């Protein structure tokens, strides 16, 4: 009987590498994933994962699944299509806006269906249907499933797409504290995230974060610092504070203690309504101006005051105002409130709820809109000309700011790879998802939410570990741990040893691929470096004449010359030790 031995040979696989850098690929991970034959774009924001890319993605998925199971989370699978009514109940149709993908199609079922960017509504309905007693809690569910988001401008390869693979988990509790409470499970999931990102070999940082449209009263993001990132993490120089830009708090500024001296005056500024236009015309600095931004929250106008060189942090502003979220007011609301065209708003005489940034409370002799078209006011002083009843930190942190502990803030671009939330009762209360507590009374579930972007883990690893030659994969998520470059398979001694090493490594649990192509050594080496296999074994006639086989470590560039009989054990041990080192 003939026994068929399956070997992973390059010549029988599908690895479409290319030398050319795609013109529309602007970040290294996008460029290298295409050049290394990992992905191919189908339409903007959606990619086919080719064999090597899919192997890496499945390895990430396996690590995530193992750590979720170890953390006590129970795997389920929920549909991508959701009834829009559930999203209307939680208020997220408005909060998500165009990011929420609707099927459309007139008055039939399509018009009442959305494609889920997350699954809070679906899992909350599941809990509402089946959990009726505190004795069934806590429960923690997770899934690994495709998500859809209506990104207006998908870019940076798999970092910002319209279709992506996500691990999302949701926990249910009757209490925030104590055994089985939200805090306990949140910490367990936080620790699981730390473990799995370490296992993936990522240099991550954990920061305080804003919850955004997901909601909740506390959250943390797991970030990988890289110039390709679209987010920013903000850290104090002394290492005592870290947050994402949307959450970053700043220490209050100090004033000189002097009162204003200028008289209030109205100045004509025809057609000039931006900070740059007005400050240039009046020969003042943007920091000398009060920026008055009008928002809408719960159908009412809500006004933010920040210094002209600062920007409103809408998350911090909404939190200071005690509302779920804010959106910029439409022109009709602004014109009705101010009695002027858009661009000429100011706090003097404005009849609305106003919250001022702390820096504004220190301003003297400021310039601001006059609530009159084509007019501004100079010499504006708080107390004399207008009153501040509410103030706080409502602006974006900027270079030069200090953390709440007083240490200077440092800004770094980064990629978000995971996010954990304490949701509280945001979804359960909205959807009337309750169960009986110990006192026999129905109470809404207290919930947690925990998300990971699996595609982003791959991209973040490439961004963190690449060079001018190509990718340098962490061992645990590399498509193959080892590539054997046989320099001439027509040579019997070369082919025999290459096949023997392949089989021995495979038997030892090492992921190995044999490059058996009839190609020049340099061509094979460049492909191996581009793809980023962590280890490369070179078997050639010249080396064997000297009784050696070369072992190259991709990341360090270290070359070892080994007797053929020692190669398999050395490589298997190196793979295991590297994976162990990466997870710590």
415 and 558 inside one domain: no
Residue 1: what pLDDT? 45
Q: Is residue 521 part of a domain?
A: yes
Model confidence at 11: pLDDT above 60: yes
Is residue 296 within 8 Å of residue 333, measured between CB atoms? Answer: yes
Residue 217: what pLDDT? 63
91 and 187 inside one domain: yes
Mean pLDDT taken over the chain = 93
380 and 275 inside one domain: yes
* Residue 440 DSSP symbol: S
The DSSP string of 47-79 is EEEPHHHHHHHHHHHHHHHHHHHHTT-EE----
pLDDT digits (tens, 9 = 90+) for 483-506: 999 999 999 999 999 999 999 999
CATH number assigned to the domain comprising residue 134: 3.30.930.10
Q: Is 369 or 2 the better-scoring residue by pLDDT?
A: 369
Residue 261: what pLDDT? 87
Residue 3: what pLDDT? 40
Is residue 499 within 8 Å of residue 7, measured between CB atoms? Answer: yes
Q: Which two tokens stand for residue 557?
A: 């560039």
CATH number assigned to the domain comprising residue 543: 3.40.50.800
CA distance 220 to 321: 22
Domain count, the chain: 3
Q: Which two tokens stand for residue 455?
A: 């595609």
What are the distances in angstroms from CA 422 to CA 36, 147, 231, 322?
39, 21, 21, 17
Model confidence at 234: pLDDT above 80: yes
Model confidence at 106: pLDDT above 90: no
387 and 486 inside one domain: no
- Backbone Cα Rg of the chain: 29
The three-class DSSP label of residue 426 is: helix
The three-class DSSP label of residue 429 is: helix
Q: Is residue 222 part of a domain?
A: yes
334 and 429 inside one domain: no
The two beta strands, 470-471 and 512-515, are: unpaired
State the CB neighbour count (10 A cutoff) for residue 560.
15
- Please tell me the number of Cα atoms within 13 Å of 546 on its side-chain side: 9
Query: Which residues lie across from 418 on neighbouring strands?
Result: 222, 452
Return the percentage of the chain with pLDDT > 70, whole number: 97
Which residue range forms the structural domain that includes residue 158?
28-249+410-463
104 band by pLDDT with thresholds 50, 70 and 90:
confident
304 and 367 inside one domain: yes
Region 529-547: what's the mean pLDDT? 97
Q: Which two tokens stand for residue 491?
A: 């040579």
201 and 296 inside one domain: no
Model confidence at 180: pLDDT above 60: yes
CA distance 400 to 403: 10
Domain boundary among 360, 392, 424: 392
415 and 494 inside one domain: no
Q: Is residue 258 part of a domain?
A: no
Region 99-110: what's the mean pLDDT? 81
Question: Residue-wise over 455-479: b if at least 16 C-beta within 10 A, else e?
Answer: bbbbbbbbbbbbeeebbbbbbbbbb
């Amino acid at each position: 009987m003939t026994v068929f031995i399956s070997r992973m040979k390059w010549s029988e696989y599908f690895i479409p590498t290319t030398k050319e850098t795609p013109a529309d690929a602007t970040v290294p991970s996008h460029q290298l994933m295409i050049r290394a034959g990992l992905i191919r774009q189908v339409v903007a924001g959606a990619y086919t994962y080719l064999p090597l890319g899919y192997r890496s993605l499945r390895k990430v998925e396996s690590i995530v699944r193992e750590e979720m199971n170890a953390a006590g989370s129970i795997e389920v699978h929920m549909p991508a299509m959701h009834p829009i009514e559930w999203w209307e109940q939680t208020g997220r149709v408005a909060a998500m806006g165009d990011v929420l993908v609707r099927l459309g199609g007139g008055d039939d079922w399509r018009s009442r269906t959305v494609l889920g960017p997350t699954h809070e509504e679906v899992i909350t309905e599941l809990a509402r249907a089946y959990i009726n007693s505190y004795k069934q809690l806590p429960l923690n569910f997770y899934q690994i499933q495709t998500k859809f988001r209506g990104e207006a401008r998908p870019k940076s390869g798999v970092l910002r797409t319209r279709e992506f693979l996500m691990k999302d988990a949701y926990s249910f509790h009757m209490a925030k504290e104590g055994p089985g409470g939200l805090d306990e499970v949140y910490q367990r999931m936080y620790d699981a995230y730390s473990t799995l990102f370490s296992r993936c070999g990522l240099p991550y940082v954990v920061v305080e974060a804003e919850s955004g449209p997901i909601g909740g009263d506390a959250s943390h993001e797991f970030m990988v610092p890289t110039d390709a990132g679209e987010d920013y993490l903000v850290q104090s120089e002394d290492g005592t504070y870290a947050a994402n830009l949307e959450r970053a708090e700043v220490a209050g500024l100090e004033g000189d203690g002097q009162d204003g001296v200028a008289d209030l005056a109205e100045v004509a500024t025809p057609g000039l309504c931006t900070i740059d236009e007005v400050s240039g015309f009046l020969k003042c600095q943007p920091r000398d101006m009060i920026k008055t931004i009008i928002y809408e929250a719960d159908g009412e106008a809500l006004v933010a005051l920040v210094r002209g060189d600062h920007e409103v942090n809408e998350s911090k502003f909404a939190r200071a105002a005690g509302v779920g979220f804010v959106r910029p007011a439409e022109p009709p609301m602004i014109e009705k409130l101010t009695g002027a065209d858009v661009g000429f708003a100011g706090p003097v005489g404005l009849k609305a709820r106003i919250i001022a940034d702390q820096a504004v409370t220190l301003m003297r002799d400021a310039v601001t809109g006059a609530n009159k078209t084509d007019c501004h006011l100079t010499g504006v002083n708080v107390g004399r000309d207008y009153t501040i009843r509410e103030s706080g930190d409502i602006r974006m942190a900027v270079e030069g700011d200090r953390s709440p502990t007083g240490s200077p803030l440092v800004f770094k671009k980064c990629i978000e790879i995971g996010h954990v939330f304490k949701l509280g009762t945001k979804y359960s209360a909205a959807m009337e998802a309750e169960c009986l507590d110990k006192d026999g009374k129905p109470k809404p579930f207290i919930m947690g939410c925990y998300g990971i972007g699996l595609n982003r883990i791959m991209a973040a690893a490439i961004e963190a570990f690449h060079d001018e030659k190509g990718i340098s994969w962490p061992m645990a998520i590399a498509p193959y741990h080892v590539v054997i470059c046989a320099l001439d398979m027509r040579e019997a001694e070369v082919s025999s040893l290459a096949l023997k090493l392949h089989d021995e490594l495979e038997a030892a649990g090492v992921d190995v691929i044999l490059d058996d192509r009839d190609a020049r050594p340099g061509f094979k080496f460049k492909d191996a470096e581009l793809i980023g296999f962590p280890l490369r074994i070179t078997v050639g006639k010249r080396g064997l004449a000297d009784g050696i086989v070369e072992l190259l470590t991709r990341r360090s560039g270290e070359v070892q010359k080994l007797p053929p009989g020692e190669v398999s054990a050395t490589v298997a041990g190196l793979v295991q030790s590297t994976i162990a080192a990466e997870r710590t």
